[in-house]
Structure 1
Amino acid sequence: MKVLFKKQLMDSKVEHQLRREIEIQSRMRHPSILRLFGYFHDSDKIYLILEFAAKGEVFKDLNRVHRYDDKTASKHVADVASALHYCHTKNVIHRDIKPENLLLDLNGRIKVSDFGWSVHAPSGKRETLCGTLDYLPPEMVDGKQHNHTADNWALGVLAFEFLTGRPPFEAKNQKETYKKITNLDFTFPNYVSKEARDFITKLLLKDPKKRMDLLQVPLHPWITKYADKPLTNK
């Protein structure tokens, strides 16, 4: 159960995001996406009835271990990629993939959650600057239109953070982060495997059209070498 206070939502002017989150997430049916079964409300609060993710946030788990090994990181990334591909087949762009918005079930498998920034985009193109600073793709930073490949970029950032414990374009302020993103200014620590480097660099490309297709993710050597088979709809 997720409890939200109406006054806080109105004060922050995010009521429309909650409506969109409920509309989109309640329709999602994928083993790596957190189920939203329904909602109800009273005079002060809104209650979301959500699938239980017994092991909590990936963000907390990652902080606990500092960084994931190839096996854990690739397994989680493969599950996120499978969930995102499903979203894209439904013309939904998540737009806020990050460790804080990923949960773990009792078996330690990923559950993508928090669809507050997601959008149903049948035309495929959007212009809103949204999401989390460290995960923004260059086209958003440059004020250009974006499409579902913004999620592909975020998957590359996520893989880097899983393996190193920090996002690739982290900087002391927003301006410096934007500059690093637009210049693709990042370096791999020595311990990152060659397969992981190749995987990440195929996603962190400035040209959205050149980013690795999510259908190619389970076929990439980093995934085939280290990961369990991703969860998919039967």
Structure 2
Amino acid sequence: MNGIVNYRFLKTLGSGSFGEVVLAEDMMTSNNVAIKIIDSQHNEIEINREIQIMKVLGMHPNIIRLEEEIHTKNHTYIVMEYAENGDLLSYLLKQKNGRCQLSEGKAQKIFQQIICGLNHCHGNMIVHRDLKLENVLLGSRCDVKIADFGLSKMLKYHRLRESVGSLPYAAPEVLSGKFYAFEADIWSCGVILYALLCGDFPFGQDIGPDELMKMEAGIYNLPEHLSFGAKDLIRKMLRFDQVDRITIPEILQHSWLQLQPQYLPPTLPTPISLAHRIQQSDQIATKMGFKVLHLGMEELWC
């Protein structure tokens, strides 16, 4: 942790190809934070794209909050809000029913917040591209926080064609190398909802040609214990043709989610312009003495 003297290392939370995430104490406030440590050899444009995306998303209750960015000779440190109840996969594994699945009431409360957070991303032209149980975190009151924007992209007019993300959650258009955009995140959310209610993946963990054929045919098991509303929403999110897939406004208005309306926003938020949000966040960071690195807008957009 050399180079960030305001934080005291506590323990490692996780690691990956980018580096590691650690739990640390902010010595100025005594609050816990999560710090993503990225080696300087990692692609600088990718690092700064992730930081700028978090700035664009700002302080939404269902998005993990960026606290600070620190750049040293050897590392970049992304200081973030700490979600003390861990990720959604760990939460499922701890369920006392022994089946790693939630009641429909619990699933509704969590899923509403996931969709509200994703709606905020899409409203700011950001496609996440790696939505999965491990990237949905839970705060002190089990409030949802979407995290890890390392694979996220900002879209303007065109669509993407990179095959990225985790196989069990990847949309068929992503797996098959076709063009895609925001609809791919909807498919991933459908897989998450299925996992919350069924304790498994609709097409398994190893996705190959046979599984792609099942996706196209819509062949997967929906347990009898699920309500009609839950089955209907899953089917509409896991439609093979992305053009026919349900949209976020339609999900928010779906009858199954309306059974637990306390987490739903009264109206859909109006997106703030990308340039204005970055300008605002950079002005605040500069006033606080933080170093701010900029990407040109042509680099920020994919």
Q: Provide the TM-score with structure 2 as the length reference.
A: 0.70
Q: In structure 2, which of residues 94, 102, 126 is the aligned counterpart of residue 64 of structure 1?
A: 94
The correspondence for 1:90, drawn from 115, 121, 124, is 124
Match of 1:76 among 110, 125, 131: 110
Pair 1:3–1:205, CA change in 2 (3 A): closer
Q: Does 1:2 align with 2:35?
A: yes
Equivalences for residues 1-234 of structure 1 within 5 A: 1-6=34-39, 10=41, 15-29=44-58, 30-65=60-95, 66-172=100-206, 174-226=208-260, 228-230=262-264
More strand by share: 2
Whichever of the two has the greater Rg, that structure is: 2
Q: Is 1:55–1:104's contact at 8 Å kept on the other side of the alignment?
A: yes
Q: Unpaired runs of 5+ in structure 1?
A: none
Letter in 2 for 1:105: G
Calculate the aligned-residue CA RMSD, in Å: 2.1
* Matched position secondary structure for 1:26: helix
User: Higher relative contact order at CA 8 Å, sep ≥6: structure 1 or structure 2?
Assistant: 1
Q: Give the whole-Å Cα distance in 1 for the aligned partners of 2:92 and 2:144.
A: 13
Aligned length: 230
Secondary structure of the 1:103 match is strand
SS in 1 for 2:102: coil
Bigger drift between 125-134 and 164-173 goes to: 164-173
Percent identity for Structure 1 against Structure 2: 27
- Higher helix fraction (1 or 2): 1
Return the alpha-carbon distance in structure 2 between the equivalents of residues 131 and 74 of structure 1. 25
Contact 2:87 2:135 in 1 (8 A): yes
Normalized against structure 1, the TM-score is what?
0.89
AA partner of residue 139 (structure 2): D
1:60 & 1:14 partners in 2: Cα distance? 30
The farther-off stretch of 96-105 and 77-86 is: 77-86
The residue type paired with residue 200 of structure 2 is R
Partner in structure 1 of residue 29 of structure 2: none
Q: Where do 5+ consecutive residues of structure 2 fail to align?
A: 1-33, 271-302
